[in-house]
Structure 1
Amino acid sequence: MSTTAHTTGKTTSGATPAPASDATLAEIVATWAEGVAFEDLSPALVENINSRVLDILGICAAAAPLDTSRAVRRFAASQGGAGQASAVGVGEQLPAAQAAFVNGVLAHSLDYDDTHLPSVLHPSASVIPAVLAAAQAHGSAGQDVIRAIAIGLEVSVRLGMAGYDSTAQNSVFFEHGQHATSICGAMGSAAAVAALHGGAELIRNSLGVAASMTAGIIESNRTGGTVKRIHCGWAAHSAITAVELVRHGLTGPPTVLEGRFGFFQAWLHGAFDPSAITGDLGERWSIEDIFFKPYPANHFTHAAVDAAAALRRAGITPEDISSMVLGVPAPNLRTIGEPIDVKRTPTTAYMAQFSGPYAVAAGLLGGGGLEVGLDDYTDELAQDPVRRAIMAKVDVVPDPECTAIFPMQFPAVLTAHLTDGRTIVEKVLANRGGNENPLSFEELTRKFRDNARRTMTTGDMAALEEGCRILETAITVNDLFTGLTTVDPDHLQK
């Protein structure tokens, strides 16, 4: 990885001139962002972003009953201030930063939000709550919201990729114990919110201020605690706060990213790839590499669900199978296949979400949502004797073909040995929801309904679906999301 800051600009889309050759990274990013116009976004990209808004809001609705969600709503409501934006499950509007905090927490709480590969960032869970809250507070139009989200996602991903080590095939943020999703998400969200309200100078200064607010460590992944759920919410909150501070006169350092005491020195000890930030900026959208999650489980398990579902659709039943071998990328083995006795006998829904054998059982039996949904990951089902019997038949091994593809995809090869002597192999080499196997707006609407039905009325769901489908036509987004305040965390629609 390079430790030398990139200082040359590229011609970007839009009317804004390219920055001078001695421009800092923040200035290059800000100049590009100012030059982005809604008209620069292809119809496919607009639909992509509309789908992400719907997806995130459905996840927020499903997460509303969690104890952690109740805690952050109580916290946000206690902060006071004039109401300006809607938060899921809060019966009155909150100040924009507090609404962004609540929705950002809920968006990331179910591990169901989208994932960028190979950085393994979850950018929408902070950028979308931040932009929607700021847009409601200022009466922004739908096209402005879509443009801002596009900018925010792009900045988040590019900063994340600047910390990706292609040799180790891993994020350096992660190796340092840092949650890049929240750290880079705060920066991307700040760029997005600033782009709603001003030009390059506001965006650059907002990046400079937000950098002092970025945070997130992932020790809870190892030893427990629910703090990780607040990371995207705090990133969204920090973004709105940073932009408002700049609007009131605060400034940030122009060398905030590459400086001697800047963002990358602080987080990555100065080891980063500046070309990941500026290379083909304005020519290619990294949003295309953000994968939707069709299933509410660790992304490494998704291809296993699809491979097992292919067996089911071919008429293979659990009784027909004597044994199965799930081949996965070697780096994934420790997450979803080891220790195998534990992965075959999860005792909680959370453990099931990280089990390759459970993913095979879930896909083979089928379920809700797009193949399996939230109702297929419960403590009771994790201990279900039928699923345990299927899991007992599954070995998880490293597969060379899958390892060669990783981490651009999280593939799987499932080999089923049948009781009649046949062997059937199902390969899923491109993840569903990714750039090679995308989900349509209609499919994501099915996911949204499976999530939102738990806490929203049918009428509110329909209104939100339609509003997101044609978000670009909204004169103001204020009325589109009023249904969020009517979410009932105690209601489960059957």
Structure 2
Amino acid sequence: MIRKPASPDAMSVGVTARLAAWTAELQSSAVPDDVYAHTARLVLDGLGVGLFGSTTQWGAVVADLLAEQGGVAEAAIWGTGVQVPATQAPLANGTFMHSFEFDDLHAAAVIHGAAQVVPAALAVAGHCAAASDRAGAGIPTAEEFALACVAGFEVGARVGLVTGSAQLSRGFHPSPNTGLFSAAATAGRLLNLDERQLRDAFGIAASSGGFLMAAQYGAMVKRMHPGRSAQAGVLAAMLAARGFSGIDDVLEQPYGGFASAYAGVSGDALGEIVDDLGERWETLRFSVKAYPCCGSNHTSVDALRKILDYAPNLKPDDIESIHVAASTLTAEHVGWPYVPDSVTSAQMNLAYTLAVLAVDRELFVEQFRADRIDDPRVLDLAARVAVQPDADIDREGREGRHHIRLTVTTRDGERYVEEVRHALGSSHRPLSGDAAADKYRKLAASVLAPNQVADLEAAVLALSAPRAETEPVARLLELVSAAPAATR
């Protein structure tokens, strides 16, 4: 019998096993109040973004396919009134959540956590509710649901801190790759998997990755990446619950393991994944996005907004050039010459984003409509935007990935310079509670009636101080299952 080589890292660090054990053994009393409160904010933001995403063309394509295929009615395709199997719903809902580049971000870990965590949590909760006649099943309590979400955010952030930037530099889409662990952790907690089963779930889910960053150049498939990731995590947890085995040291295995294959990371560096686990909470560093575009654009958006505020008479035609000094990763990720071929490429491209902001002096969903991406005024200014790597910024490492210095030069020789290290909405500059709630309400209102928008907000915010009662989760399941207000 040929056996795989023993991994010295697995023997000395046991990262996969330690992460699985922590996930399985996490107790509600160990989670600080601020972590629960922030998790609830991330869930609420994700649901608002996801409900809006259900109105997009690419979201509808995925949802319609799953609805046509049918199957056992366990979990909702949000905002459609359609129920499908729990292993199918996350594909649609994760796609919805990443459908407009408005989902949360952990910048250092390069992961949008909610797009995997929330679809997985609600799918498994629906599965448990539909299977309430089985032993151990039933609607999860608010405490169980919130704890599963915390586990998902924390696990994904920690894997991303060690592998995310390196994945991106190699051309992988880090968020859905890393998010496989988030979805498996979330689903596994709700299915009451033990440490051994969670290791299997991680090993099964991580075998489903390979998401490619080239999707940013215009393909609809980028939107679907988190949906596939969330789906894979739920499927992995359900298979592990039935005794299906996965790669039991998938993070640290030197040959073909997740960290080595996707990020070229191995050895002692992997220990950071579990350093201070349960003491230092990376969940708190997930941001609620202020703008519906790639997170790598946000610091530049903030810089240009500052300039436009103190130069209110500055017009697009007055601008000779906009120069952005950035990290090499940011320049490669969003600094390519803009071609107006899709909404996806517009949202990913820094030149378009800055140009449309300068033209409209606003940056919300209207600036990324399909009929705006080839606006001649925007194209004219976008051609005068240059993004270049800066060696000093590169030396800051992953924490400085979004640090930029933006210079606007006018045709009459004036120069305006702004430097921004952390974007509005980041953990360093979080959106106010009112601003985050306003974002959710505007987006959710695209699908739900006003009373439902308010009811869903109340149900989610009950997760801020979760108790051992099922009513908030039952209400969540009911509200996301509702048909669009316009069809009733």
Mean Cα displacement is larger for which, 268-277 or 227-236?
Answer: 268-277
Unpaired runs of at least 5, structure 2: 1-6, 129-138
* Whole-angstrom distance in 2 between the partners of 1:421 and 1:257: 53
Q: Secondary structure at the match of 1:413?
A: strand
- Whether 1:287 and 2:277 are equivalent positions in the alignment is no
Output one character per residue of 1:252-295: Cα deviation in whole Å (capped at 9) or x when no partner: 45334334666337734974232132222222122233333211
Find 2:430's aligned residue among 435, 438, 455.
438
Query: What corresponds to 2:131 in structure 1?
Result: none
Q: How does 1:307-326 map to 2 (within 5 A)?
A: 307-319=303-315, 321-326=318-323
Unpaired runs of at least 5, structure 1: 10-23, 165-169
- Whether 1:411 and 2:403 are equivalent positions in the alignment is yes
Output one character per residue of 1:122-146: Cα deviation in whole Å (capped at 9) or x when no partner: 2221122101221233211222222
Output one character per residue of 1:110-159: Cα deviation in whole Å (capped at 9) or x when no partner: 22222223342222211221012212332112222221111112222222
- Whether 1:301 and 2:292 are equivalent positions in the alignment is no
* Whole-angstrom distance in 1 between the partners of 2:47 and 2:247: 34
Is the alpha carbon distance of 1:489 and 1:49 closer, same or farther for their aligned partners in structure 2, counting shifts above 3 Å?
Answer: same
- Whether 1:204 and 2:199 are equivalent positions in the alignment is yes
Mean Cα displacement is larger for which, 265-274 or 208-217?
Answer: 265-274
- Whether 1:30 and 2:44 are equivalent positions in the alignment is no
Mean Cα displacement is larger for which, 141-150 or 155-164?
Answer: 155-164
* Whole-angstrom distance in 1 between the partners of 2:408 and 2:63: 47
What is the deviation of 1:437?
A: 0.7
8 Å Cα contact 2:124/2:191 also seen in 1? no
Query: What corresponds to 2:57 in structure 1?
Result: 67
Is the alpha carbon distance of 1:458 and 1:260 closer, same or farther for their aligned partners in structure 2, counting shifts above 3 Å?
Answer: same
What is the deviation of 1:54?
A: 1.3
* Whole-angstrom distance in 2 between the partners of 1:373 and 1:473: 32
Query: What corresponds to 2:4 in structure 1?
Result: none
- Whether 1:143 and 2:127 are equivalent positions in the alignment is no
Counterpart of 1:464, as a letter, is L
* Whole-angstrom distance in 2 between the partners of 1:392 and 1:236: 37
Q: How does 1:385-396 map to 2 (within 5 A)?
A: 385-388=376-379, 390-391=381-382, 394-396=385-387
Query: What corresponds to 1:20 in structure 2?
Result: none
* Whole-angstrom distance in 1 between the partners of 2:414 and 2:156: 48
Counterpart of 2:326, as a letter, is P
8 Å Cα contact 2:163/2:259 also seen in 1? no
8 Å Cα contact 1:220/1:227 also seen in 2? yes
- Whether 1:428 and 2:420 are equivalent positions in the alignment is yes
Is the alpha carbon distance of 1:375 and 1:200 closer, same or farther for their aligned partners in structure 2, counting shifts above 3 Å?
Answer: same
* Whole-angstrom distance in 2 between the partners of 1:421 and 1:270: 46
Is the alpha carbon distance of 1:372 and 1:29 closer, same or farther for their aligned partners in structure 2, counting shifts above 3 Å?
Answer: same
* Whole-angstrom distance in 1 between the partners of 2:179 and 2:186: 10
* Whole-angstrom distance in 2 between the partners of 1:392 and 1:255: 48
Counterpart of 1:430, as a letter, is H
* Whole-angstrom distance in 1 between the partners of 2:397 and 2:86: 39
Mean Cα displacement is larger for which, 258-267 or 431-440?
Answer: 258-267
- Whether 1:329 and 2:347 are equivalent positions in the alignment is no
8 Å Cα contact 1:216/1:231 also seen in 2? yes
Output one character per residue of 1:55-105: Cα deviation in whole Å (capped at 9) or x when no partner: 111121122133332222233224443322222133132222222221112
What's the RMSD between the two structures over aligned residues? 3.1
Query: What corresponds to 1:167 in structure 2?
Result: none
Counterpart of 1:328, as a letter, is A
Query: What corresponds to 2:133 in structure 1?
Result: none
Counterpart of 1:428, as a letter, is V
What is the deviation of 1:488?
A: 3.1
Mean Cα displacement is larger for which, 307-316 or 145-154?
Answer: 307-316
- Whether 1:264 and 2:258 are equivalent positions in the alignment is yes
Counterpart of 1:158, as a letter, is R
8 Å Cα contact 2:170/2:263 also seen in 1? no
8 Å Cα contact 1:302/1:359 also seen in 2? no
Query: What corresponds to 2:31 in structure 1?
Result: 41
Is the alpha carbon distance of 1:381 and 1:68 closer, same or farther for their aligned partners in structure 2, counting shifts above 3 Å?
Answer: closer
Mean Cα displacement is larger for which, 463-472 or 430-439?
Answer: 463-472
* Whole-angstrom distance in 2 between the partners of 1:404 and 1:208: 34
Is the alpha carbon distance of 1:418 and 1:92 closer, same or farther for their aligned partners in structure 2, counting shifts above 3 Å?
Answer: closer
What is the deviation of 1:375?
A: 0.7
Is the alpha carbon distance of 1:379 and 1:242 closer, same or farther for their aligned partners in structure 2, counting shifts above 3 Å?
Answer: closer
* Whole-angstrom distance in 1 between the partners of 2:370 and 2:66: 30
Q: Which protein has the bigger helix share?
A: 2
Q: How does 1:109-128 map to 2 (within 5 A)?
A: 109-128=99-118
Q: Secondary structure at the match of 2:371?
A: helix
- Whether 1:184 and 2:178 are equivalent positions in the alignment is yes
Query: What corresponds to 1:51 in structure 2?
Result: 41
Is the alpha carbon distance of 1:239 and 1:51 closer, same or farther for their aligned partners in structure 2, counting shifts above 3 Å?
Answer: same
What is the deviation of 1:373?
A: 0.9
8 Å Cα contact 1:304/1:412 also seen in 2? yes
* Whole-angstrom distance in 2 between the partners of 1:106 and 1:312: 32
Q: Secondary structure at the match of 2:353?
A: helix
Is the alpha carbon distance of 1:313 and 1:235 closer, same or farther for their aligned partners in structure 2, counting shifts above 3 Å?
Answer: same
Is the alpha carbon distance of 1:102 and 1:37 closer, same or farther for their aligned partners in structure 2, counting shifts above 3 Å?
Answer: same
Query: What corresponds to 1:14 in structure 2?
Result: none
Output one character per residue of 1:390-436: Cα deviation in whole Å (capped at 9) or x when no partner: 54665544456644546424133333456887644332221111121
Counterpart of 1:31, as a letter, is A
* Whole-angstrom distance in 2 between the partners of 1:388 and 1:82: 48
Is the alpha carbon distance of 1:265 and 1:124 closer, same or farther for their aligned partners in structure 2, counting shifts above 3 Å?
Answer: closer
Query: What corresponds to 2:274 in structure 1?
Result: 278
Is the alpha carbon distance of 1:402 and 1:380 closer, same or farther for their aligned partners in structure 2, counting shifts above 3 Å?
Answer: farther
Q: Secondary structure at the match of 1:135?
A: helix
- Whether 1:132 and 2:112 are equivalent positions in the alignment is no
Query: What corresponds to 2:451 in structure 1?
Result: 459
8 Å Cα contact 2:352/2:378 also seen in 1? yes
Is the alpha carbon distance of 1:212 and 1:44 closer, same or farther for their aligned partners in structure 2, counting shifts above 3 Å?
Answer: same
Query: What corresponds to 2:135 in structure 1?
Result: none
Q: Secondary structure at the match of 1:309?
A: helix
Counterpart of 1:283, as a letter, is E
8 Å Cα contact 1:323/1:394 also seen in 2? no
Aligned residue-pair number: 461
* Whole-angstrom distance in 2 between the partners of 1:123 and 1:457: 27
8 Å Cα contact 2:44/2:460 also seen in 1? yes
